[in-house]
Structure 1
Amino acid sequence: MYQKQIDRILRKLKQLAALDPALDLFGADQHRYRLAPPWNEDQVRGFEKAWSVTLPENYKAFIMQAGAGGAGPYYGLAEPEEGVYSDLDHKNELNDISAPFPYTDEWNMDTDWNEDTHSEEQLQRMEEQYFSTEHSAGLLRISNFGCGVSMNLVLCGPSCGEIWVDDRVNGNGIFPDHYFENENRLTFLDWYETWLDRSLEELEAQQD
């Protein structure tokens, strides 16, 4: 069902690597345009059973036909077993990826973070609430934007299959991914191919 798009994606990835031998594109020095080995059906089933989730079909097709991580937007694709944590940089707290993601539109906590308004204890409680995993339930971390910002695939809930950004570290909340100047909600394969298209445009413009 997704084979044509995945084949097109792999051709574009090869083209992108050829245009960027110096690895100048953001994050390329980390993933080096290399994909991790694909998962087989047993690995996918094992992951879904272990975490009580069902992976979106187009993402599942990609990790089985192309690669289970590696080359991708920003610092590359995280492998699924890395994405179960609340923070891709510090893998010490699990995210509840099997629970329904609670949002269908952008979310941010409406509060005043002014230290003059709240006591230190109040600010600490507010921060704990803001960064609680209840807000990121149902999200599989799939790409590290850096500095604590993650790109996520919604696994469960009304926004299932969409790519969302978790930018709470900068006080920007959680919202559908529009980082490629796209206006529509993106599912995994379209998100990945949009990254390829924008990256190819950027490198080709530099060569003109």
Structure 2
Amino acid sequence: MTEQLKRIREKLTRLREQDRGFRVFGASAHHYRLNDPLPLASVKQFESRYNLQLPEDYVLFITTLGNGGAGPYYGLERMENGLFSDLDYRAEAPLLHPSLPFVHTQAWNPEFVATADEAVDPEAYRRQYQVFEKDYYDIAWMNGTIAICNFGCGVSMHLVVTGPQQGYVWADDRSSDYGIYPSREMGNQEPLRFPDWYELWLDQSLNQLNLAGA
């Protein structure tokens, strides 16, 4: 086990002990408990089935500490749930394609620019917006990722598993019209790899409790 994973395990234990009332957002859903770790063989089967290679630090986490459970917001998803494009409505959601290239290298949130004047030709304007909207919400924009965390309200956190951004956490915030971007919702200025993102959540949660006099 790496030194970082040892710190994460210790901080999670402290958080569970200090927040027995589950005051941190989402804690009542996971109670600061991780699921059992996955056997490495199960990870290899998943990778083979979907023709991908999961980031090494993520694999070490789910095979050493736990496969989903305690984590930011409503908690970490199990690895096997990572293909759902909508974590709120899994049964109805189309599946992601994690083996395909992840096309983003910077925040992406295109604006709708119409060539039709809404006041002059509202029908043409509406058709143009429908075309834009269909493309904007296409799940193909999240190719090369698995979903790892449900932020709520249709927003999800994803782990990039292909290309130069492999191992970094990105947010799919299109349901709020904020697009797709490297996860910075915890105030970090730089993109974070999975274990750093997780440890930052632990640090901020412990600090929140200390400020509240836990």
How high is the TM-score relative to the length of structure 2? 0.92
1:34 aligned residue: 33
1:141 aligned residue: 147
8 Å Cα contact 2:112/2:129 also seen in 1: no
**Cα distance in 1 between the residues matched to 2:117 and 2:182:** 30
Displacement of 1:112 in angstroms is: 4.2
2:186 paired with 1:185: no
Q: Which amino acid aligns with 1:69?
A: G
Q: 2:173 aligns with which of 164, 167, 173?
A: 167
8 Å Cα contact 2:68/2:77 also seen in 1: yes
Q: Secondary structure at the match of 2:79?
A: coil
8 Å Cα contact 2:103/2:141 also seen in 1: yes
Q: Deviations over 1:1-40 (max 9, x none)?
A: x521111101100101111101111000111111011000
Moved over 6 A (4+): none
Runs of 5+ in structure 1 lacking a partner? none
Greater Cα shift, 119-128 or 139-148 = 119-128
Number of residues paired by the alignment? 207
Q: Deviations over 1:64-101 (max 9, x none)?
A: 00001000001000011111111111222001111111
Q: Secondary structure at the match of 1:183?
A: coil
2:110 aligned residue: 109
2:101 aligned residue: 100
Q: Which has the larger radius of gyration?
A: 2
Q: Secondary structure at the match of 1:160?
A: coil
Runs of 5+ in structure 2 lacking a partner? none
Displacement of 1:119 in angstroms is: 4.1
Q: Which amino acid aligns with 2:192?
A: L
Percent identity, aligned pairs only, is 42
1:90 aligned residue: 89
RMSD: 1.7
How high is the TM-score relative to the length of structure 1? 0.94
Q: Secondary structure at the match of 1:81?
A: helix
Structure number with higher helix proportion: 2
